[in-house]
Amino acid sequence: MELLLQLLLAMGGLLICGFLCSLFSLLWLAPVGVSRRLRRNGFDGPSPNFPFGNLVEMSKKQHGSSSSASATASSCSSSFTNDIHSTVFPYFARWRKTFGKVFIYWLGTEPFLYIADPEFLKVVTSGTLSRKWGKPNVFKKDRKPLFGKGLLMVEGGDWAHHRHIISPAFSCTNLNAMINLMEESTTKMLDSWSKIVASGQKEIDVEREITTNAAEIIAKTSFGLGEENGVRVFKKLRRLQATLFESNRLVGVPFSNLLYLKQTYKAWRLGREIDHLLLAIVEARARKGRGGQDLLSLLLAGEGEGEGKEKARKLTTRELVDECKTFFFGGHETTALALSWTLLLLAMYPEWQAALREEIAEHSAGGSLDSDGLSKLTKMSWVLNEVLRLYSPAPNVQRQAREDIAIGESLVIPKGTNMWVDVVGLHHDASLWGDDVNEFKPERFSAGAGGGCKHRMGFLPFGFGGRICVGRNLTLMEYKIVLSLILKRFSLQLSPKYKHEPRIMLSLRPSNGIQLVINPIN
C-alpha cells in the first residue's frame, strides 16, 4: 500500500515537472530561440522580456513632443495638426529612430516584424512569396466571435474559394441596386439632424451619428434589416463589438485570456446567439429562393464559377453566416470613420466644402445622384483618398509566415513570425510624400490614384496584393452618397468642444467623438 502511494506521488511529481518544463519552454525557451534566430538573420529591435515581450514599454504613455496632435488641439481647438504618427504609435516612432523602418518587436511571446519600408514590403510579399503568408493565429482566436471563418480570416484554398464566390456580389451592377437603401437610411438621419437644429441645438457628434447610419446601411446591404430577426442580429452585433473591446487584452501573453473570463464568456454567448439568428435568416432565404438585393441574397443565388466538376461549390449555410458577420464588422466602422474624418477636415477647409457642393450640383440630374453622376464626382474621390491617407481607418495590416521564408541569398524570416505593416507610418512618411506630407491637400490625387507617392506600396488604405479589401467599391459608393446628401443640406463648422485626440482602438478613431456645428443650407 505504502509502495503504491509512493509510486503515485512520484508519478504526480513527474507530471507536474513535465508541465512546468513545457510551460518554461513555451514562455521562455521557444521565444528566446526564435529571437536569437531573427537576430542572426540581421533583424534588430528593442529587447523583449518574456512573457510580456515589449508590451510593458508599449503601454507607457509618451512624453514631450510626441503628443503633438492632442497638445495643439487642446490649446486651440480651431486648428490641429495631422502629424499623428507619434501620437497614435508613440512606441513605433521611438523605435524607428534607433532601428529604422524594419525591426522585430514582441507582443508577449509572439515575434512581430515591423515594416514601414514599402520596398522591403514589396520584396517579402511579391510573387509566389505572397502565398507563404497567412493571418496571425494570435488574432484569429481573439476575433473568432466577430469574423468566424469569414473571408477576412480564412487562408489558402479556402480563401481562394470564398473570394471567388464573394467578389461578384460586389460588382457595380449589384452595388447600384443598393443606392436606394443607402439614400433611405441617410435621409432618415438627416431629417433627424434638421429636427435637432430646429429645436435650437446646432452641435452634433457626427461620428456617433455616421457610425449608427453606416451600421444600419451595412446590415441592410449584408443580410437585410427589414425583418425582425435582422434588427435583433444588428443590436446583438453592436453589443458583441462593445463587449470584445471593453478589455485591453495582453495580446500574445500565454494564458492572459484567463484574466478576462467574464468578457470572453459574454462574447462567446453573444456570438452563439447571433449565429442562431443569422442561421434562421439564411435558411429562410434559402427556402424562399431568390429575393432581395442584399449581399446574402446575391451569395445564395450566385452560381460558383467554372464548368462541370470544376464548378466552385456554393458556400454552406455556416459559411454564409460568418460572411454576414464579416461584412458587418469589416464594413461599417471603417466606412463610418472615413466619412467622419472627412466631415472634420471639411469643417476645417470650407473651400473644399464649396468645391464639392459645386461638383455635386453639376452632376445631380434632376436634383438627385444616380450611379452615372456618382462616378463623375472626381474631386470627392480625391478627398476620400486624402482622408484615407491622413487618417487611415485600418491603421495596420498583419500577416504570419506559414513556413520559413527565404529572401535572396542571406535572409530567412522564420516560420511563425508575424508581420505588422505600419500603414499610418507609410502614409505620414515625408520621404515618400514630400514635405507637405501632413497637410490636407486632396489635389495631390489629381494626377492619379497613387497621390504622387514615390512608391506604389506607400499608399495602402485597403491593404495590398490578392487580399486587398473586397468591399472598397461599396465604401466608395456609400461615401459618395452619404457625403453628397449631407453637403446638399448642411454646412459644417468645427465646434470649440472638439478635442483632436486620434487613437487606435483596432481602427483609427477620434477619442471623444467629432463635434461639429451644422447649419442648414436654404
Window 8-67: residues binding ligand HEM (CB under 6 A): none
Instruction: Count Cβ atoms within 10 A of the Cβ of residue 506 and give its class: 0-12 exposed, 13-18 middle, 19 or more buried.
Output: middle
Q: Which residues, including other chains, have CB under 8 Å from residue 258's CB and lie 6 or more apart?
A: none
Q: For residue 243, report the phi and psi dihedrals to the nearest 5 degrees.
A: -60, -45
Q: Is 210 in the site for ligand HEM (CB under 6 A)?
A: no
In the complex with ligand HEM, the residue whose CB is nearer, 104 or 338, is 338
Q: How far is the CB of 157 from ligand HEM (least distance, A)?
A: 13
In the complex with ligand HEM, the residue whose CB is nearer, 153 or 270, is 153
The DSSP code for 429 is -
Of the ranges 138-146, 324-332, 410-418, 509-517, which one interacts with ligand HEM (CB under 6 A)? 324-332
Window 98-157: residues binding ligand HEM (CB under 6 A): 151-152
Window 391-420: residues binding ligand HEM (CB under 6 A): 393-394, 397
Q: In whole angstroms, what is the distance from residue 41 CA to residue 272 CA?
A: 44
* Total number of residues shown for the chain: 522
Q: In whole angstroms, what is the distance from residue 496 CA to residue 409 CA?
A: 57
Identify whether the C-beta of residue 476 lies closer than 8 Å to the C-beta of residue 452. no
In the complex with ligand HEM, the residue whose CB is nearer, 281 or 517, is 281
Window 151-180: residues binding ligand HEM (CB under 6 A): 151-152, 163
Contact with ligand HEM (CB under 6 A) among 338, 356, 369, 485 = 338
In the complex with ligand HEM, the residue whose CB is nearer, 300 or 474, is 474
Q: In whole angstroms, what is the distance from residue 154 CA to residue 469 CA?
A: 14
Q: How far is the CB of 330 from ligand HEM (least distance, A)?
A: 4
User: Quick one: residue 521, left, alpha or beta (phi over 0 = left, psi -120 to 50 = alpha)?
Assistant: beta
Of the ranges 20-28, 171-179, 233-241, 389-397, which one interacts with ligand HEM (CB under 6 A)? 389-397
Identify whether the C-beta of residue 121 lies closer than 8 Å to the C-beta of residue 392. no
In the complex with ligand HEM, the residue whose CB is nearer, 46 or 471, is 471
Contact with ligand HEM (CB under 6 A) among 444, 467, 480, 509 = 467
At residue 365, the 3 state secondary structure works out as strand
469 annotated ligand-binding residue: yes
Q: How far is the CB of 212 from ligand HEM (least distance, A)?
A: 16
Identify whether the C-beta of residue 412 lies closer than 8 Å to the C-beta of residue 41. yes
Instruction: Count Cβ atoms within 10 A of the Cβ of residue 320 and give its class: 0-12 exposed, 13-18 middle, 19 or more buried.
Output: buried
Window 262-301: residues binding ligand HEM (CB under 6 A): none
Contacting residues toward ligand HEM, per CB under 6 A: 151-152, 163, 218, 326-327, 330-331, 334-335, 338, 393-394, 397, 461-463, 467, 469-471, 474-475
Which amino acids are annotated as binding site for heme, given as ranges? 469
